Amino acid sequence: MYEDGPVFKAEGESFRDQPYGRELPQGLWTTGLCDCHQDGHICVQTAIMPCVSFAQNTEIVNRGTIPCMNAGLIHLALGFVGCCWLYAFPSRSRLREHFALPEEPCSDFWVHLFCTSCAICQESRELKNRGADPSISWLSNVEKWSREKVTPPIVVPGMIR
């Protein structure tokens, strides 16, 4: 259904012409790992039901190929045995690839092992800051971008996995 390219593909004359191209730090996270207070809604939602926030992020990062419900149920089931981070850290890696973000403060594996909730919050904020709304589905985001005639950013134009 979707090619194996980046989540957000720059279109138009050049990347610099994109609406977000000049506003976001290229190759840097827009918020820190422990900046959960910057978005109270995401913080509270993740504290109460991390599987919901994770599922919303995963659907966006995977361009709708992994339905929100499936990702959430898998995360919830693994959470009952204390292993949800095993399912969560590859999603962070994919998000980083799409936006050429550094693996910091340490590898994605360790970030999700020790700070799963903070990592999920940071990933939600990153998607939001880069033009995607994790609280609505992938298709709803695509429709919104089409209506607004906006193409969300990608740090490295034409980046292909």
- Whether 58 contacts 66, CB under 8 Å: yes
Amino acid in the structure at residue 1: M
- DSSP letters for 105-144: SS-HHHHHHHHHHHHHHHHHHHHHHTT--TTS-HHHHHHH
Query: Would the pLDDT of 13 be above 70?
Result: no
Task: Give the per-residue pLDDT at 152.
Answer: 66
Average pLDDT over residues 88-105: 91
At 40-96, the pLDDT tens digits run 999 999 999 999 999 999 999 998 899 999 999 999 999 999 899 899 999 999 999
Query: Would the pLDDT of 21 be above 50?
Result: no
Query: Would the pLDDT of 134 be above 70?
Result: yes
